[in-house]
Amino acid sequence: MLMKLETSGEVGLMQKIDVIKIYQRKSALVIDDYPDMRGSIRRMLVNFGITEVHTASTGTEAITTCENNHFDIILCDYNLGDGKNGQQVLEELRFRRLLKRTTAYMMITAETTKSMVFGALEYQPDDYLTKPFTQTVLQRRLDRLVLEKEELHEVNRAIDEQDYDRAIELCDEHISAKSRYEQKCYRIKANCFLEKHLYPQAREIYADVLDERPVDWAQIGLGQCMMQMGELDDAEKLFNELIGQNCLCLEVYDALAEIKTQRGDIAGAQQLLEYASEISPNAILRQQLLAEISAGNGDLERAEKALRKVVRLGANSCYESPENYFKLARCISAQINGDDRKRISDAEEVLDRARRKYRDDDQIRLQSDVINAAVYARAGQADESRKRIAAIAAKMPAEEMLNAAQIALDLARCYQASGDNAQAKQILKDLALQYPDDEAIGEAIDQLSDEPLSRRGKDKAVDLNRRGKELLGSQQYVEAIALFGEAMRHYPNNTAVKLNLLLAMVRNMNTHGANAEQLVRCEKIINSVDTLSEEHPLYERFQVLWEHVENLQEDLLETGDADA
């Protein structure tokens, strides 16, 4: 079950009197694109006793209304016509901290498609109501919700104020008093410990709850604690058990994907994220992660598909960014092989959309032009690429370009695409000197370079080599594969990391026998570095490892297990 709404049965007579008094103190917002439906729901709320009822017909109007007003109750339709839908309204209200935990948020919809339902519930509204419904049905559902919010108001207010110690204290009072919301308070208390990074305390609560009865939220919470405490095997086992029990909480798949990623199993992580994205295709952050993981796994076709989804969803999302367009254009460009007219046209169309969307931003236009030049470089049209770079240089001299780090990074990509690696490396070196303390820029520099150039990247490389040597020396080949596999995600162009991963897989197969899946992975690495020049200091090492891989392939063929 994706979301468990904990209720305490029907509202009794005394509670009914209480809830009428509560309604009289509350304000509400109704969000629906149909005037008749807005009016109908508004009248129902007035009949419940609410006198202050606002309405909004679009997602944008709803956000603006919430910027200027606080509401105790929000009822939002999922389908709001053009523009933001109800899921994106909830997403943005949370993102901008315009929605307090003291507010009851109910999603309403006539749609019942699987992707829509899962997408809406992933953002965990307080309740979910399907059209058509009667006033009696709405009141029964809203009564329970309002009573709970009233009872736990101080707890939720403490969390809104990020006073987690106070929230834990108040939860303990409810638990000691055997409140009807005792189970809810256990869950809230555990979440507060998670927010404070006190994982053993959170774990104890989840374990105690599970001793009483198996509930999804406690099992998921326990697994998350295990992950944070480094107990990946136990966490993986628990999450797989949940899937075996037909749990459809998609955060289970996200957690398993994170475990796979930490182990360097990028292909496994991609598979899990693909499955979750098929069930709930409108979760933009998961699509962004899927694109990143797929690209790291060399699956640019899947990355492009995810990025197209990100661009489409971003149009009405708080996560809208010009970088969404640029990532898609780069991904399309990376797949160009020769004079591929269609892909060139696709990339240019994406960049044109970025220019139109951000027409008043000169830097966005300039960055689009740089990426466009890289597209022509990848297509082998060096003259056209150089002409475009010259036009860009006329608008922004090299010294100014370093002050626009993202443009400089794309210029380095452009030179790499045209085969001018020396010029690309010089730009990256200059950027590393210009931004020694910027971790994000440093990571982007190291991702493009074949060796770490940032201060943090160099330190990580030293630590990585030390840990890798220790693992290889103690014949912990699986752990070494995980270590270098994860490193490759961060440093996809780093030749030394690639060869270290290749070495770990070769030694593992020499010890345990050839493995078809690992050999395919070895081939991908070999193909990515087979242009290494004879002058390169790692050339001989690469040749030796290549020969080992060929021998292992022959061994596998001889045993007749090539298709295993």
DSSP conformation letters of 304-366: HHHHHHHHHHHTTSTT--HHHHHHHHHHHHHT--SS-HHHHHHHHHHHHHHHHHTTT-HHHHH
Place of tokens 């150089």: 386
Of 151, 179, 207, the one marking the end of a domain is 151
Least-confidence region, from 25-34, 43-52, 108-117, 138-147: 108-117
pLDDT tens profile 387-437? 998 898 888 877 777 778 999 999 999 999 988 989 999 999 999 999 999
129 within domain boundaries? yes
552 within domain boundaries? yes
432 within domain boundaries? no
pLDDT tens profile 248-259? 789 999 999 999
Closest CA to 501 of 514, 519, 488, 516: 488
In which band, very low, low, confident or very high, does the pLDDT at 9 lie, cut at 50, 70 and 90?
very low
Least-confidence region, from 9-13, 44-48, 200-204: 9-13
SS3 52: strand
The per-residue pLDDT for 394 is: 86
In which band, very low, low, confident or very high, does the pLDDT at 560 lie, cut at 50, 70 and 90?
low
Q: Is the dihedral of CA 131, 136, 139, 145 positive or negative?
A: negative
Query: Cα separation of 366 and 501, whole Å?
Result: 38
pLDDT tens profile 255-304? 999 999 888 888 899 999 999 999 899 899 999 999 999 998 889 999 99
In which band, very low, low, confident or very high, does the pLDDT at 11 lie, cut at 50, 70 and 90?
low
> pLDDT averaged over the chain?
90
Place of tokens 């897989």: 505
Q: CA geometry: angle at 360 spanning 311 and 442, to 5°?
A: 60
What are residue 74's DSSP bridge partners?
A: 29, 105
Joined together, the tokens standing for residue 380 give 């082998």
348 within domain boundaries? no
SS3 494: coil
Q: Which amino acid is at 73?
A: I
Average of pLDDT values for 502-521? 90
Asked whether 408 and 371 are in contact (CB, 8 A), the reply is no
Say if residue 540's pLDDT is above 50.
yes
Asked whether 472 and 504 are in contact (CB, 8 A), the reply is yes
Asked whether 380 and 338 are in contact (CB, 8 A), the reply is yes
Query: Cα separation of 260 and 253, whole Å?
Result: 10
Say if residue 562's pLDDT is above 90.
no
315 within domain boundaries? no
Say if residue 13's pLDDT is above 90.
no
Dump the DSSP string for 245-296.
Answer: TT---HHHHHHHHHHHHHTT-HHHHHHHHHHHHHHSTT-HHHHHHHHHHHHH
CATH number, domain at 496?
1.25.40
The per-residue pLDDT for 1 is: 29
Of 135, 151, 167, the one marking the end of a domain is 151
The boundaries of the domain holding residue 493 are 457-559
115 within domain boundaries? yes
30 within domain boundaries? yes
Joined together, the tokens standing for residue 232 give 């990946």
DSSP class of residue 264 equals: T
Per the structure, the count of domains in the chain is: 2
For the chain, percent of residues with pLDDT exceeding 90: 69
528 within domain boundaries? yes
Query: Cα separation of 175 and 181, whole Å?
Result: 8
Of 133, 151, 169, the one marking the end of a domain is 151
Joined together, the tokens standing for residue 80 give 């709001």
CATH number, domain at 42?
3.40.50.2300
